[in-house]
Amino acid sequence: MAEGVETREGAALRAALLDAAPDTVRNRVADLVSQAVGQMPPAELPAVVRPVARFAPAKRAKVGAGPLLTALGTAEGFAEDVVAWWREHRPDDFEPPVAEPVHAAAVAVLVGDPDAAGALLRHAGERADVGKLRAERDAALARAEKLAAELERVTAERDAARSRPSVPDQSDEVAKLRTRLREQGVRVKRAEEVAADAAARLEQGQGDLLRELDDLRRVRGRDHDAVAAADARAQRATAELESARRAAHESRRADDARLALLVDTVAGAAAGLRHELGLRADDPRVGPRPAELVGASARAPMARVTDPVALDRLLALPEVHLLVDGYNVTKTGWPALSLSAQRDRLVAAVAPLAARTQAETTLVFDGAGITGVPTASVRGVRVLFSESGVIADDLIRTLVDAEPEGRPLVVVTSDRAVVDSVRRRGAHPVPSSVLLDRLSRI
């Protein structure tokens, strides 16, 4: 009876540790359990786990993670059977001499060691926060440096232009650029404050880690398991620092596309100022930039496009992005076809238009019932499906919001709600019938 009580307490402890663990640790625990249940006799498995054990090894941890983790915290003796299997069949993989932090945390949760698991889980969360904050700070500093350099160049050109009596005063444009630079400065300052706070938390966490390491070293001679845990934690600081660097690098790459478009927009504004000041007029490479053309069109209210000629004018704008509400167009033009045939026909019809206009082109479809991307990839045309529970209209709004201010956006849809929302966001709405008319002329 006493053994049963101890088993229930161990299951409750593992359930609490799993609730406190980050997703990376929970996923690693599910992977360890999935490998064990695939080799254990089905009769020894809890009822909720038996269907998962029949899955393919590649799908077992991903698809059956919920039942596996639930059984760890509810089924008596299940976790002990999993740990016994690992120690009997693959002890070196289960508790290697030097384990990476996520694996070490997963083993501590599975074994039910609250002291080791608590420290590992806490520092894993702190490292993830530090990596994210550092990435945000680096991105903000990079944007501020680019804007400062651009302002310095524009200011120098403005000062040189003022010495010419025929050059008009363009102080308003310079003031706007200064305002944008000040805004970036505020963002940089906030990012530095957040980074400083994160650094303090990191330093405190490192101190806690060193104190825990000293405690573990003091018990090295008494407990072989404690020795292995101490050696693993001794490698943790270096491993987690490298992990934070990789996370910062990946986060910085994720912002490259948006940052590049923002830089193009600021560069376009500077080019427009040089054009109005008459600077370098003898250089044949200096010509209209996207910001000049977009600025000219933004001064008038954005009305609905009613003919293919107006659509061609929009698609001729530099850096233009064409967003198409896929099913809204296909159900208008080819309602008798299946959804799969409608998608393929729209991609094939839009590809020549994208190649001719050089416009960035994105087709958006509802992802309900779609398990993969069924449409063949076509050069120059991006095909996106909304996630489960998200409609294509919301994905279009998200794409419009993700673009930097000043970039020309053309949204093809006849949905009144989408038309109203994207117009408020500065995009040009185009009815589906106009695009179909334009495609029929190719």
Per-residue pLDDT tens for 88-142?
Answer: 888 877 877 767 888 888 888 888 777 666 666 666 666 656 666 777 778 878 8
Report yes or no: 21 and 119 within 8 Å, Cβ to Cβ. no
Given this model, what pLDDT does residue 437 score?
A: 94
Higher-pLDDT residue of 421, 13? 421
Q: pLDDT-based confidence at 257, cuts 50/70/90?
A: low
Q: pLDDT tens digits, residue range 375-425?
A: 556 778 999 999 988 999 999 999 999 998 889 999 999 999 999 999 999
Please check the confidence at residue 4 and state whether its pLDDT lies above 70.
no
Please check the confidence at residue 297 and state whether its pLDDT lies above 50.
no
Report yes or no: 367 and 373 within 8 Å, Cβ to Cβ. no
Q: pLDDT tens digits, residue range 172-207?
A: 777 888 888 888 888 888 888 888 888 888 888 777
Given this model, what pLDDT does residue 328 score?
A: 96
| Residue range 85-90: mean pLDDT, rounded | 87
Given this model, what pLDDT does residue 438 score?
A: 94
Given this model, what pLDDT does residue 14 score?
A: 80
Given this model, what pLDDT does residue 128 score?
A: 59
Q: Structural domain boundaries of the chain? A: 2-112, 116-262, 304-440
Q: pLDDT tens digits, residue range 153-163?
A: 888 888 777 76
Please check the confidence at residue 283 and state whether its pLDDT lies above 60.
no
Higher-pLDDT residue of 202, 223? 202
Report yes or no: 143 and 262 within 8 Å, Cβ to Cβ. yes
**Distance between CA 305 and CA 318 in Å, rounded?**
18
**Phi, psi angle pair for 235, to nearest 5°:** -90, -5
Q: In CATH terms, is domain 304-440 a member of 1.10.3470?
A: no
